[in-house]
Structure 1
């Protein structure tokens, strides 16, 4: 792969030429388009760790994405300075690298369903075991079937930004191919054969069967290396390693801070975890002593740990850059930094103390039921209207009005293709906020009435 092509300003679905202005570049426009999208705004009411939290301090998917974007911009810009000098690139600024990473990080969770990763599990479980779900998915084959059995928020995110947002436009938000490729941490279809391909980039699906053509356009534009002549799987865009690292840094480091603020970790526990990463500095014995409250001390250490991680990720990326360009490196950068064990310890403690907190488990369990029940109740309704039209049952004709037309078909007539019909239903449910999913669940099950 070569950087001149990897930084392609070509926009998916658009015939417009890249802008020549430097006052607001194509990559900055990508960032702005994501910020102003409705899917981005909905992340303010989507779970990061603590679902439906009443405490305004706790991070949501929105604040996590903003923080990841900030770290991604720093990483990208620092890398860009070195890459431009190393390869003598012309026509690009270090900020272009930073803007691509910032935009990709901003959207990295935009496809996640309600209730975090338990929402993904709920959709997979529904497709595999629920009465209607199992029947509908069983008639599909290959990647169409695996899109549901192995439902993935990353693949759904690619749908959101390339199809569901600005749906009348080919290419959706029509982002640059560089940003879309950096966004796609897993450049593969959902059915590739278990264990056939190694490396982190093959771990999960990155796009659905319906979106395969769109990703092939992106991969060709930026010059990704194809890993198989038949299956749709490529080596990653180099900047996607930085997008992944920014996410890894933020959720590992910041989840500890959230856990401390909510009382799941003591101040000493948080201090020890952060200090282990900063053990080679004198921060703890100087500035830390001048900070009054424990909350402020934890915030200070959190910032220093993030800075330390950025520095180590930068060095790691530059060391492995030649191998990345050849498709010979396929590991998370976090697994190769000097303090990888200490960073892994953060997520280990979070798993033991925070992710299994009663308020997390209780609401995620309820969320699992909410998502499964919505899918199971709506699919027979859609099928009934698709098959019988105006002769569908009164209940079906009434309930289908609860689904926006864009998730049904033109003129509110369900599409006939089984795969597309299921895909639009999961588009509808996965796009819900936590609160809306609960509210709709209560209404369709009769638990509560409007007003």
Structure 2
């Protein structure tokens, strides 16, 4: 598609349900509210309560985990979308009655944004990818049977793609639309509208010398591409090709969902680091004041923790305003699918956020306790994956017949409640292995690792 193509909100806010052509809107509860409710009542969302945000296996109850983070992101995302929606209505870009739809869609996408993340945070993604990489390097049995072109979606395991798989395949209507969410919510969820093999073909995200933000990672497994393509057609997302590869422009609401995540974790990571003692009060206060502005006067009687909480709230409010301004500034490029930045980076607070990120990289992410636990987490994930791989190899030897499993494999299936449905080849077997591993909580992964190793 050429750059003249401009997306339109009538298509972008599609209320069609993936996998359910018979759906009829409810008078008192929109499909976008239903999307949100289906996500928050799902088991994968509930498990986020015991998955690492930044601090692994922390005993301090005030440190964030993935579920609290997701709820906070959804709050920020809703505020962003309401402000953008009112601006769109004022400029005649969007009918006024659809402003709440915009907010509901972004809120639903935000609560789902981390639903595919494995235990131990982003280090868990790296651990799973490393295990697959080592397995393919010494490929035998099931790992050797996977077509080489599909290996990148395992060796660079991606929680975003796993999240799309959960939403559209694994939960509720299994294999038939999954949660059957609206196409608008799925569009707003998908940060990286490209498969791993197609992204590899586009030379790691470089297209004619330019890097499009939607190609930074991959967000769709090859087996799930038909579902995304169906949603993209209804949404009117521009499809682009490069040689034999294809990808899509981002849905405009992705930028709001992404900004909500950026705002929340960058600011709250600082607060958590103060809470755990990894960063001193004066440094955190200075960084937050640069984001939210210094208050006119200090409230008397505030404890240090209360002052940090106050500055955190001011920082989030200021970042929301700056992100809305950036969306408005880059609106035309966003609607043409050519904007290739992020709203926070493009905003007036870009430098202040860059400073906060630099401190996080140097002082939080490299903290001794976090590093030690990430090393342990990597070993735990490897133990789990190596321990259950023989079940899938046994299934392959038996022609994918569950009844042909050995007694020991059956014992493992019972002990771990392994789901062996829909496995018919190496690709689906390895996805099932990844489904189980990425779905584990931190503590459950530790327990199963100990069980499998006989500890």
Q: Give TM-score scaled by structure 2 length.
A: 0.92
**Aligned positions of 1:204-219 closer than 5 A:** 204-219=217-232
Structure 2 CA distance for aligned equivalents of residues 34 and 361 of structure 1 = 32
Q: How many positions carry a matched residue from both structures?
A: 437
CA contact (8 A) 2:85 2:94 kept: no
Q: CA deviation at 1:149?
A: 1.3
Structure 2 CA distance for aligned equivalents of residues 290 and 181 of structure 1 = 47
Task: Choose from 7, 10, 15 the match for 2:21.
Answer: 15
**Aligned positions of 1:29-108 closer than 5 A:** 29-90=34-95, 92-108=97-113
Rate the CA distance shift 1:124–1:214 in 2: closer, same or farther, 3 A: same
CA contact (8 A) 2:161 2:219 kept: yes
The one-character-per-residue Cα deviations of 1:339-371 (angstroms, maximum 9, x if unpaired) are 211111111111222112222111111111111
The one-character-per-residue Cα deviations of 1:110-164 (angstroms, maximum 9, x if unpaired) are 0000100111001110111137974444543365221101210000000111111
Partner residue, 1:378: 388
**Partner of 2:174: helix, strand, or coil?**
coil
Q: CA deviation at 1:278?
A: 3.6
Q: CA deviation at 1:88?
A: 4.4
Rate the CA distance shift 1:178–1:332 in 2: closer, same or farther, 3 A: same
Structure 2 CA distance for aligned equivalents of residues 308 and 121 of structure 1 = 33
Structure 1 CA distance for aligned equivalents of residues 182 and 56 of structure 2 = 33
CA contact (8 A) 1:132 1:379 kept: no
Q: CA deviation at 1:396?
A: 2.8
The one-character-per-residue Cα deviations of 1:4-50 (angstroms, maximum 9, x if unpaired) are 100000011112334152x3211111111111111100000000011
**Partner of 2:196: helix, strand, or coil?**
coil
Rate the CA distance shift 1:73–1:186 in 2: closer, same or farther, 3 A: same
**Aligned positions of 1:45-444 closer than 5 A:** 45-90=50-95, 92-130=97-135, 134-135=139-140, 136-141=142-147, 144-168=150-174, 170-192=176-198, 193=201, 194-195=203-204, 196-197=206-207, 198-228=211-241, 230-279=244-293, 283=295, 285-286=296-297, 288-388=298-398, 393-405=406-418, 407-409=419-421, 415-444=423-452
**Partner of 1:227: helix, strand, or coil?**
strand
Structure 1 CA distance for aligned equivalents of residues 24 and 352 of structure 2 = 43
**Partner of 1:93: helix, strand, or coil?**
helix
The one-character-per-residue Cα deviations of 1:176-196 (angstroms, maximum 9, x if unpaired) are 000000000101111122233
Structure 2 CA distance for aligned equivalents of residues 88 and 334 of structure 1 = 23
Q: CA deviation at 1:84?
A: 2.3
The one-character-per-residue Cα deviations of 1:189-210 (angstroms, maximum 9, x if unpaired) are 1112223332211011111011
**Partner of 2:226: helix, strand, or coil?**
helix
Rate the CA distance shift 1:225–1:395 in 2: closer, same or farther, 3 A: same
Rate the CA distance shift 1:237–1:131 in 2: closer, same or farther, 3 A: closer
Structure 1 CA distance for aligned equivalents of residues 388 and 239 of structure 2 = 39
1:2 matched to 2:15? The reply is: no
Q: Give TM-score scaled by structure 1 length.
A: 0.92
Structure 2 CA distance for aligned equivalents of residues 293 and 45 of structure 1 = 29
CA contact (8 A) 2:86 2:96 kept: no
Q: CA deviation at 1:404?
A: 2.9
Structure 2 CA distance for aligned equivalents of residues 45 and 56 of structure 1 = 12
Rate the CA distance shift 1:84–1:17 in 2: closer, same or farther, 3 A: farther
What is the RMSD of the two structures over their aligned residues, measured on CA atoms? Answer: 1.9
The runs of at least 4 aligned residues of structure 1 exceeding 6 Å deviation read: none
Deviates more, 1:381-390 or 1:40-49: 381-390
CA contact (8 A) 1:12 1:175 kept: yes
Structure 1 CA distance for aligned equivalents of residues 195 and 78 of structure 2 = 28
Structure 1 CA distance for aligned equivalents of residues 15 and 395 of structure 2 = 43
Structure 2 CA distance for aligned equivalents of residues 359 and 244 of structure 1 = 28
CA contact (8 A) 1:137 1:148 kept: no
What are structure 2's unaligned runs of at least 5 residues? 1-6
